[in-house]
Chains A and B, each alone.
Chain A
Amino acid sequence: MKKTKSVLLSAPYLAWMVVFTLVPLGVVAYYALTDPATGVFTLGNLRNLGMYLPVLWNSIAYSLVSAFICLLLGYPVAYYIAHCRQTAQKFLYMLVMLPMCMSFLLRTLAWVGLLQDTGIINTMLAKIGLPRLRLIRTPAAVVLGMVYNYLPYMILPLYATLMKIDRRLIEAAEDLGCTPVQTFCKVVFPLSMPGILSGMTMVFVPAVSTFYISQKLGGTDTVLIGDVIERQFKQGNNPNLGAALSLVLMLLVFVCTGIMNRFGGGEEEVVV
């Protein structure tokens, strides 16, 4: 009786998952494993993947660098918020969330306006007599776009983990002779590991598959795997190759999160 009830209650979500996740996944797998012209089963699409390996590495490298920068920037912020008074915490939390209320596209376009050759920054530089800089269409601009867009995804899980660390553990470390720096290294940092892994994953996963950021802020040397996939569906008119690339990317994300979970000692699962 109880079991049927819970099945009934979860039925809408299960149906949603089947229709909008499992079925499309099947479609992706079908396209990835069939020939574009004849529609018969083939591994040919996957054979072409070698060509795109450099782009794939590019994507992973950019995403990892962005995730680490997010960690370096986000950790102190999360630590600070977690140690504020209750009311201040709520306010700061809201500030972190605020950019997420704005359209992702708009936020990225705003950076274009800032960075482009005739953009706000370069116009200002010219006004005070300094040479214009090449800001847009650089790897740095792509990383900047990723860090800017995904930083809240790093701060929030870190904040949640740091909040949960028992004050008395910090006192216990001090009591046993730890300086504040030692307390951080030996107690706070190891205990915040689940938050770090969770934040890294939440930045890495969307960053590795993005195409908009690299298209708007990057140049020809910063093509990411997301761009390639998008191109197969739009200009390239080769959805089978696009599907194969998507499938590989998905596997890659699974492997990456799996490795991160292993790092965490399996104590607390990373939330994706």
Chain B
Amino acid sequence: MSKELIRLRDLTMEFDGERILDGINLYINDHEFLTLLGPSGCGKTTTLRIIGGFLTPTSGTVTFDGETINDVPPYKRQINTVFQRYALFPHLDVYDNVAFGLKVNKVPKDEIDARVREMLEIVSLKGYENRRIDALSGGQQQRVAIARALVNRPKVLLLDEPLGALDLRLRKDMQNELKRIQQAMGITFIYVTHDQEEALSMSDTIVVMDKGRIQQIGKPEDIYNEPKNAFVADFIGESNILDGVMMEDYRVKFFGRVFQCVDKGFAPNEPVDVVIRPEDIDIVPVSEGHLVGTVTSITFKGLNYDIIVEFKGFKWLIQTTDFHAVGSTIGIRLNPEDIHIMHKSAYSGMFGDYSSYSAEYDELTEDAGNEED
């Protein structure tokens, strides 16, 4: 692929003795759309701010195009930022906000004018040049913030939860818009979000973070299909995570039964975490089932029903388009490719049990991410 642009080596960050980042190693390629994804307090914004130059890491190095830039102040970096809640200048109108960086860098007046107008056209804000910032809607302010950063033609654009304050519909539109702009301008995007769906749909590479550490780096498909540990499996999408034992390559035992799977390379009889995605489970008549369980709750989600099924005291989430009454007994089949095996980790046993499942589950996890500073 394209060449490496930024590298973070053994990055740690401490505030008042508290470790916020703990050994971050990461490289970012030119033209890449890379997303730092994780829950509130995972260190993703701190990582972004170190790349932007607003924080100096406690230890470790940041290199840009082969040069160490730890102590280079933000104004000397070829990096621009779209800040959380935009940070637009309230004393300037739309035009002057966008022209700000060009004026500071003494770009000729004619060129400033041409570039600002071109940029406003790209973000669909033509005709808003002389509007005051507080007379714009959230979505418009957001686009001014993007224009203000991109007009400087930075090598890298940092985006800190840029869509967090927008409503769902606008957020979806802006996701497409951002991806389009990124591809059209060929700029590296480093994007911070706690929204896994946003990360999956926009990124070339996703970096999943938690507790100041990188949990997994990979393409969206790989992160979703091959999560490395229980945290990633739970944070990206929904997962049923069970204790199992890897008998040998391609054979895993859980719930007292041996299943065929597609994973190998584990030690004989190694205890493992077994991930089964709720949408991969096939519901079959009881007589044909690998396992038989009882439906304990059902929630209509629009696209599908979320049903909770109890198997031998352990509750699973299953997504199905068919209605199953509470109390009914169903059978399920698991195909080898539906079963994903992970090594045990510090996160084992913390996620993937739907015993306390309720309809508010999704909303709770969404809200938790919004508190990040």
Contact = CB atoms under 8 A, between A and B. Distances in A.
A182 B81 contact: no
Interface stretch (B20-28, B82-90, B187-195): B82-90
A171 interface: yes
A171 B152 contact: no
A178 B87 contact: no
Contacts of B73: 174
B87 A169 contact: yes
A96 interface: no
B75 A178 contact: yes
Contacts of A179: 75
B104 A178 contact: yes
Contacts of B80: 175-176
Contacts of B105: 177
B54 A176 contact: no
A166 B87 contact: yes
Contact of A175 (B52, B88, B90, B91): B52
A172 B75 contact: no
Contacts of A193: 91
A263 B91 CA distance: 14
B46 to A, nearest CB: 14
A168 interface: yes
Contacts of A178: 75, 104
B74 interface: yes
B104 A172 contact: no
B74 A174 contact: yes
A191 interface: yes
Given A177-B101, A182-B104, A186-B104, A172 B91 contact: no
A187 interface: yes
A177 to B, nearest CB: 4
Interface in A145-204: 166, 168-169, 171-179, 182, 186-187, 190-191, 193
In this complex, the member of A166, A168, A176, A190 whose beta carbon has the largest number of chain B beta carbons within 10 angstroms is A176
Contacts of B89: 169, 172-173, 187
A169 B87 CA distance: 5
A27 B171 CA distance: 65
Nearest to B92: A190
Contact of A174 (B75, B91, B148, B152): B75
A191 B89 CA distance: 9
Contacts of B79: 175
Nearest to A165: B90
B305 interface: no
In this complex, the member of B91, B105, B149 whose beta carbon has the largest number of chain A beta carbons within 10 angstroms is B91
B361 to A, nearest CB: 33
Nearest to A183: B75
B87 A168 contact: yes
Nearest to B73: A174
B266 interface: no
Given A176-B148, A177-B152, A187-B89, A171 B74 contact: yes
A162 to B, nearest CB: 14
Nearest to B91: A190
B141 to A, nearest CB: 13
A191 B91 contact: yes
A3 B170 CA distance: 42
Contacts of A166: 87
Interface string B40-51: 000000000000
Interface in B62-120: 73-75, 79-81, 83-85, 87-91, 100-101, 104-105
Given A169-B87, A187-B89, A191-B91, A175 B81 contact: yes
A176 B99 CA distance: 10
Nearest to B76: A177
Nearest to B104: A177
Interface string A83-103: 000000000000000000000
Nearest to A182: B104
Nearest to B52: A175
Nearest to A169: B87
A191 B75 CA distance: 20
A186 B103 CA distance: 11
A172 B83 contact: yes
A177 B89 CA distance: 15
A176 B101 contact: yes
Nearest to A187: B89
A95 to B, nearest CB: 27
Contact of B152 (A169, A176, A182, A190): A176
B75 A168 contact: no
A195 to B, nearest CB: 13
Interface in A127-154: none
Contacts of A172: 81, 83, 87-89
A175 B100 CA distance: 11
A175 B152 CA distance: 11
Given A175-B52, A187-B89, A168 B100 contact: no
A168 B89 CA distance: 10
A171 B101 contact: no
B170 to A, nearest CB: 22
A179 B105 CA distance: 10
Contacts of A169: 87, 89-90
Given A171-B74, A176-B80, A178-B75, 5 more contacts: A168-B85, A172-B89, A174-B54, A176-B100, A177-B75
11 contacts: A169-B90, A171-B81, A172-B88, A173-B89, A174-B74, A176-B148, A177-B104, A177-B152, A182-B104, A186-B104, A191-B90
The 4 A-B pairs of least Cβ separation, nearest first, read A176-B101, A168-B87, A174-B74, A172-B87
